[in-house]
Amino acid sequence: MKKTILSLFVSCCLMMQSSFAQLQTGENVAVTNTDAGKVRGYINNGIYTYKGIPYAEAKRFEAPQKPKAWSNVRSSMTYGPVAPLIDPTTSVMDEAEFVFNHSWGFTNEDCMRINVWSPNINDGKKRPVMFWIHGGGFTAGSSQELPSYDGEALAKKGDVVVVSINHRLNILGYLDLSAYGEKYKKSANLSVLDMKIALEWVKTNIANFGGDPNNVTIFGQSGGGAKVNTLMAMPSAKGLFHKAINQSGAFRTAMLDKTTTQAIGAEVMKELGLTADKVDEIQNIPFQTLSNAGKKALKTIADKMKEEGKPVIGFGLSWGPSMDGEVLPYQLFSNEAFELSKDIPLMIGTTVNEFMPFRGSMPNSTTDEKAMETIKKMYGDKTDAYIAAVKKAYPNAKLSGMLDYDVTFRPGAVVQANQKSALAGGASVYMYMFDWQSPVLDGKFKAVHCMELPFVFNNIARCHEMTGGTKEAYALADKMSQSWINFAKTGNPNHKGIPTWATYNATNTATMHFDNTCVVKPQMDKELFDLVK
């Protein structure tokens, strides 16, 4: 009897002990090799964690190179610097900042850093690698910007290795100086080359972190999703990853051509008062001066393009990848680009509301009369057709919520899924939509852009401000993160916790709707897209 009681007591103590976070640090803790030298991280909740490891280095506007080797064990326990921003945050929207809970980090042009989370580094296992690329368009963001990006919970749940990176952005990543000498030959797409060399780092080093370099999934959201598409269209990146997930990032805007990007580069040089023989002086100009010159140059070239009748999308030109004929020889939605990534399984989707809560959204308390007045102001004589199309797509839609449904991000996802799934002998495509509505602040933020991230990373506990931390949120995160894990392992996101998720094609348009009750439905919003083109 005493023995039984003692055993129960010991078991209870062990259970209590395991319920608390276990942090291990020290000189000989979590030490492993990279091709540049040894690194030391820490172990938290059984997950080996490394932050801020240099994966490359470069002079300003020059191609990335392997980092210089180090001789001592490099402490790698803290996130590295983030890329300088052209528009630093100086004022805050209080409620939105509460929900998103950004961590801005510190900036430095030497920002090529990689983070790794792994269940083990010494057991000989080859775990799937999930390579995360942050959002923020092509001009902002970082691997540590949102609490949802932390890879510990996903690594622990899925027995996978999670990786994330910082890389060059905005003018530092995309200013085309190729007309000014060999060293700047690839300057128009340096940010993309940073991502590629980070993937090469994974190929070379990830086995030392318990990962399998032959099973790498790239995934990203918003600008990160667009970067996924960019890598899929990059011939020299072929073979560095094996599956892809695009979350709210199927941007269809055509990339600029070399003629335009070189014109922008020439205008920046003019703004800075630099002649071709003085081009190297651009490496020493203060970032803010450089950034201001870049803004003026973009506006000048955009105005010239408008005068010539050339299309300028949205508010004007911006920094981003361009079709330079070498790093990126094809437009992202071209047949050549789709053929290049034909054998890459793809999961793609959006949230149901995306940026709509910030664009004319009406409070839930809005009367039907006031709601109808607002809808008529926007759609005029198309109002009845718009309401009918919304109700077909979303039968439970209220008049006060009629303007909240995304018609910006999802159409691109549908086009991409249709094109990719039509490739003869191509890899599988899986489509999803994130419908779950956050209860935070009386439901004001709905399924806003980024809302799916805590669920994908199984990070509800870190993101109560965004999700409310409800039991429903935890339950859905368990289902969604398992789908992402299974896709990374096998290219198939199905598991016992969700309905059968069929592969997508333009005929069945099978779409998994993630909500408190998950369902698979065909596309219901085609008429809505046609109406708002």
Domain count, the chain: 2
Q: How far is CA 379 from the centre of its chain?
A: 32
Is 378 within a domain? yes
My answer on whether 350 and 490 are in the same domain is yes
Domain annotation covers residue 89 = no
The verdict on 408 and 498 lying in the same domain is yes
- Domain co-membership, 394 together with 507: no
Cβ atoms of 358 and 447 within 8 Å: the answer is: no
Q: What is the pLDDT of residue 115?
A: 98
Are 494 and 354 part of one and the same domain? yes
Taking the C-alpha atoms of residue 392 and residue 373, their distance in angstroms, rounded to an integer, is 21
Residue ranges making up the domain that contains 396: 368-403
Domain membership of residue 352 (yes or no) is yes
- Residues written for the chain: 533
Q: Are strands 37-40 and 74-75 parallel, antiparallel or unpaired?
A: parallel
Do 389 and 352 have their domain in common?
no
> Domain for residue 300, yes or no?
no
Confidence band of 177 (pLDDT split at 50, 70, 90): very high
Two structure tokens written together for 24: 């291990």
Considering only CA atoms, which of 195, 199, 196 is closest in space to residue 215?
A: 199
Strand 74-75 relative to strand 42-44: parallel, antiparallel, unpaired? Answer: unpaired
To the nearest 5 percent, what fractions of the chain are helix, strand and coil?
40, 15, 45
Residues 505 and 382 in one domain: no
SS3 191: helix
So which residues are the catalytic ones?
222, 354, 449
Average pLDDT over residues 38-60: 98
| Lowest-pLDDT range of 94-98, 432-436, 460-464 | 94-98
Q: In terms of Cα–Cα distance, which of 443, 257, 420 is closest to 344?
A: 420
The verdict on 382 and 523 lying in the same domain is no
Which residue carries 């993937």 as its tokens? 199
Same domain, 470 and 446: yes
Measured CA to CA, the distance from residue 462 to residue 465 in angstroms comes to 8
Split at pLDDT 50, 70, 90, the class of 3 is very low
Say if 353 falls within a structural domain: yes
**CA–CA distance, 123 with 135 (Å, rounded to integer):** 33
Using CA atoms, how far apart are residues 323 and 331, in angstroms rounded to an integer? 7
Q: What is the pLDDT of residues 513-526, one digit of tens each?
A: 999 999 999 999 99
**Are 356 and 472 contained in the same domain?**
yes
What is the rounded distance in angstroms from the CA atom of residue 179 to the CA atom of residue 333?
27
pLDDT tens-digit profile of 480-510? 999 999 999 999 999 999 999 999 999 999 9
**Residue 532's pLDDT is what?**
85
Give 86-97 as a DSSP string.
SS---S--HHHH
Per-residue tokens: 43: 């172990």
- DSSP-derived pairing of the beta strands 47-54 and 42-44: antiparallel
Closest C-alpha among 434, 443, 452, 445 to residue 146? 452
At residue 175, the 3 state secondary structure works out as coil
For residues 397 and 505, membership in a common domain is answered with no
Structural domain contains residue 375: yes
CB distance 52 to 112 below 8 Å: no
pLDDT tens-digit readout, 264-307: 999 999 999 999 999 999 999 999 999 999 999 999 999 999 99
In a domain, 80, yes or no: no
Q: Is 457 a domain residue?
A: yes
Q: Specify whether 498 is located in the same domain as 483.
A: yes
Question: How far apart, in whole angstroms, are the C-alpha atoms of residue 328 and residue 342?
Answer: 17
Q: Is 97 left (phi over 0), alpha (psi -120 to 50) or beta?
A: alpha
Write the CA distances from 149 to 152, 400, 431, integer angstroms.
9, 33, 22
Radius of gyration of the chain (CA): 24
Residues 349 and 456 in one domain: yes
503 vs 427: CA distance, rounded Å: 10
Taking Cα atoms as reference points, which of 508, 517, 492, 369 lies closest to residue 437?
517
